[in-house]
């Protein structure tokens, strides 16, 4: 029973840190090769950068919830370590995007508790009903969709916002690695209707988080 209680407390602590912004990065925030001059940024540029980074932060909140739930339900010790290691790396992304939002004079999404709860629920259902192969399949599809979002943001960020670009590029590289690792760990390809449903849910999330 103590182990179960410890697990429950750790899960709750991670949720609170993720939603309230209590995580700290293990890696320094990526920086551009040349120190940028951000004085040229207009208010419109800052608002756009902030909106995109808020969306990216929400994506990391969801990834953190997904990995935490999957680590909670898997019975494979090696896979549990895999999920926990990926979650730790996602905390870097949380901290980086939150810091960038602060630098831009903006904030994270006020709906983060809702995003976290939804992704956590998906992770629990995938792990309990589908097993590890399905759970890993959700990781692969999630990370690939996040990669696509990040790639689109690189095309939308103001050209002079090289700081945000450096963060997004590193995040994209990490997400690609996570997808490959999950695939190699035995992920099952998800049915097309599930992928489409995930894309539809992601569209609602990203559209909402852009503003709220």
Instruction: Confirm whether 68 is domain-assigned.
Output: yes
187 CA to centre of own chain: 19
Instruction: Confirm whether 22 is domain-assigned.
Output: no
**Stretch 38-61: mean pLDDT:** 91
Instruction: Confirm whether 70 is domain-assigned.
Output: yes
Q: How confident is the model at residue 21 (pLDDT cuts 50, 70, 90)?
A: confident
CA atoms within 13 Å, Cβ hemisphere of 76: 14
Instruction: Confirm whether 80 is domain-assigned.
Output: yes
What's the pLDDT at 41? 80
Mean pLDDT of the chain: 89
Instruction: Confirm whether 163 is domain-assigned.
Output: yes
Length of the chain measured in residues? 212
pLDDT digits (tens, 9 = 90+) for 145-182: 999 999 999 999 998 899 999 999 999 999 999 999 99
Q: What is the DSSP letter of 8?
A: H
Instruction: Confirm whether 5 is domain-assigned.
Output: no
pLDDT at residue 83 above 50? yes
- What burial letters (b/e) apply to 4-13, b meaning 16+ CB within 10 Å? eeeeeeeeee
Instruction: Confirm whether 9 is domain-assigned.
Output: no
**Stretch 26-38: mean pLDDT:** 87
What's the pLDDT at 1? 41
What's the pLDDT at 5? 73
Tokens of 161: 């916002």
Let me know the angle formed at the C-alpha of 48 by 47 and 49, rounded to the nearest 5 degrees: 95
What's the pLDDT at 90? 86
pLDDT at residue 13 above 80? no
**Stretch 183-197: mean pLDDT:** 91
Residue range of the domain that includes 203: 44-209
Q: The domain that contains 69 carries what CATH number?
A: 1.20.1260.10
pLDDT at residue 23 above 80? no
pLDDT digits (tens, 9 = 90+) for 90-128: 899 999 999 999 999 999 999 999 999 999 998 888 888
Q: How many domains does the chain have?
A: 1
Instruction: Confirm whether 146 is domain-assigned.
Output: yes
């Amino acid at each position: 029973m103590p182990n179960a209680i410890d697990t429950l407390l750790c899960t709750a602590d991670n949720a609170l840190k993720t939603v309230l912004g209590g995580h700290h990065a293990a890696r320094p925030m990526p920086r551009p090769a040349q120190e940028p001059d951000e004085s040229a940024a207009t208010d419109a540029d800052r608002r756009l950068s902030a909106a995109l980074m808020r969306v990216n932060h929400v994506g990391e909140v969801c990834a953190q919830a997904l990995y935490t739930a999957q680590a909670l339900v898997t019975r494979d010790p090696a896979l549990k370590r895999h999920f926990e290691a990926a979650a730790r790396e996602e905390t870097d992304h949380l901290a980086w995007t939150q810091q960038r939002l602060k630098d831009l004079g903006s904030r994270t999404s006020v709906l983060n508790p809702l995003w976290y709860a939804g992704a956590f629920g998906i992770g629990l259902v995938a792990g309990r009903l589908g097993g590890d192969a399905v759970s890993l399949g959700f990781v692969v599809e999630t990370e690939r969709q996040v990669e696509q979002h990040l790639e689109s943001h690189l095309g939308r960020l103001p050209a002079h916002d090289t700081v945000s670009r450096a963060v997004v590029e590193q995040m994209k590289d990490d997400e690609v690695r996570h997808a490959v690792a999950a695939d190699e760990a035995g992920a099952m390809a998800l049915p097309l209707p599930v992928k489409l449903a995930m894309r539809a849910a992601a569209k609602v999330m990203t559209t909402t988080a852009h503003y709220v």
